[in-house]
Amino acid sequence: MESGIYSGTLRHRRFTPARHEFTYPLFMVFLDIDRLPELMKVSPLAGYNRQNWVSYQERDHFGDPTRTLRERVSRDAEQNNVVLPEGRIFLLTHLRYLGYNFNPVSFFYCFDRDEKLQMVVAEVNNTFGETANYWLTPAVERPAGENKRYRFRKQFHVSPFLKLGQEYDWTFTPPGERLVSESVSYENGREIFDSTLKLERREWSRAELHRALLRFPWMTAKVITAIHWQALRLLLKRVPVVAHPGAGNFERATAQNLGASWRAK
């Protein structure tokens, strides 16, 4: 298993109260969290903790940027009573492009020493500047063969068009030549929304990074623009807006369900 670039599509489908669907092309990076400074030397257009066309900055993930990302992930695991496997951890995410970063969700793939995928951590961000870490552990795992499948309660307000109190059913394939992540949202046992991320692997190299940048020169700006454009379309379809429940409500929900933590940036 090595670092790489994954390119493909993201599809969202809403089934109620109005049907709504879209698919966008995108790319994400898949990086060994213990080699981030080295990996960001791949191109003169890339930077580590400094501005460039594309950059990784420690402040974008898991709190205190003065500590390594491995230390921050390990500390958050301890706070959530999770035992990390002893192998490598890879981060699937959007980097900063032209100084701007927004990640609806980043995934940390945690492997054991035999490079077998053991668990996934989903770092979810909303447009209110808040973050929730979902530790997808055996406590919420369901049988899925080599894939990892998890069923758990939604605890964090993301879309203003989807309520809390829903259930998530997420499935992840082990990262390889292809990578698939599927998320289904249920309300009262009824499927109301799903998203599917389908990606194909490219090597982590100067040529592949430059190719991705030429196709998507400002990936994160495209992400936030698409979020607001789709929100406008939902408003025009008269989909009800759900008020932000407040951090206090989230913290009460978290206390009832092991495996998630919350912080405001």
Q: Tokens representing 49?
A: 């903790």
Distance CA 64, CA 263 (A): 12
Domain range for 63 = 4-264
Distance CA 223, CA 102 (A): 8
pLDDT at 123: 95
| Whole-structure pTM value | 0.90
Distance CA 58, CA 91 (A): 12
**Per-residue pLDDT of the chain in tens (265 residues, 90 and over written 9):** 899 999 999 999 999 999 999 999 999 999 999 999 999 999 999 999 999 999 999 999 987 889 999 999 999 999 999 999 999 999 999 999 999 999 999 999 999 999 999 999 999 999 888 899 999 988 788 877 789 999 999 988 888 888 888 999 999 999 999 999 999 999 988 999 999 999 999 999 999 999 999 999 999 999 999 989 998 999 999 998 888 877 444 343 333 333 444 444 4
Distance CA 24, CA 12 (A): 9
Residue spans of beta strands (DSSP E) within the chain = 4-14, 20-32, 46-48, 54-56, 89-93, 96-97, 105-111, 117-125, 130-136, 141-142, 148-153, 167-172, 178-187, 190-203, 260-264
pLDDT at 145: 78
- Among 151, 153, 160, CA closest to 182: 151
34 Cα distance to chain centroid: 19
| Counted domains in the chain | 1
Furthest CA-CA distance within the chain: 51
Q: How many residues does the chain have?
A: 265
Question: How many Cβ atoms are within 10 Å of 229's Cβ, its own excluded?
Answer: 10
pLDDT at 255: 32
